[in-house]
Structure 1
Amino acid sequence: MIECHVRPSPLGPILYRAEDACLTGLFFVGQKHFPAGLPPHAIVHDGRPAPRVIEAACDEIAQYFAGERLTFSVPVRLRGTPFQQQVWDLLRQIPFGDAWTYGDLARRLGLPPGASRAVGGANGRNPVAIIVPCHRVIGGDGELTGYAGGVDRKRSLLTLEGGRGRAQLALF
């Protein structure tokens, strides 16, 4: 059974989706690639108790926004193509406060530089924002590009993390 709950965050409401004790989605409400076809009763605004995994994810996200959490431990299940899975697994290796380029990701996957667009497409379809840190991927020129939650949110997340290395170039 899929359960969804919407909770506030400093960057706007977040929809948390869980299935079988795993977090399967974390989306800014209204973002690009927001899940279609969710049953209206799944989005809960009335404070009804959420599954334990959603409560844990909410707590960890609150700690992250408070500057108290650098990594996440909530169990996550990501569904996508084998290529998307590879990209999402690699995203989880980007250290807090750092940023890699789409080209960096392609090279680390053993792909030619021209594969950056395909990597960007998979990155944009990441179903678990923040915890799978797709916001830590920037353009080769240091520009903030493509974030399903919007570039302003991406900038805010990188600023929160202190933006070391190439991320700093994009922030100023």
Structure 2
Amino acid sequence: MTEIRLHLSVRGLTDADLPSCGWAGSPKHVRELVHQIRRAEAGEIDYLAVCTPAGLPVALGGIDYTVRPGAGTLWQLGVHPALQSCGIGTLLVRSAEQRITARGLTRAELGVEESNPRARALYERLGYRAFGRELDSWDVEAEDGSFQRYETMCTLMRKHLA
């Protein structure tokens, strides 16, 4: 077996990245990333891209500083399906935590769908602990271009950062 090591970098998502982000969600989701890039430019959030040496995003995730006072709230975390369970999600979360502490905040929070035990296990390995539950929902684009409301119960998790 041959092993290949890939050097990844983490930076802010840009408009130029969007054509390479189709793996991250529906066309509607990718279109809405433009809004997140504008919010990042305004300083409300950070929206990170983990990239290959060629600059292609293989993981994405946001940190919203407006959700809860004193915390950065991680959301829309995702790794390219072909590269899951390779440590890229860990790199993304740790990079997000560094951004949070660079803003002088001491807490990271997130909500994980209760139907996603693999993600919850990752967050627990990284030191996140459950502190509540909340119903979340968003619009999902169907193949025919119509939209349906998706609802899910999430476990709220937090980590105190040094």
Q: Same fold (TM over 0.5)?
A: no
In terms of fraction of residues, the more strand-rich structure is 2
**TM-score normalised by the chain length of structure 1:** 0.28
**TM-score normalised according to structure 2 size:** 0.29
Higher relative CO (Cα under 8 Å, sequence separation at least 6) belongs to: 1
Give the structure with the higher percent helix: 1
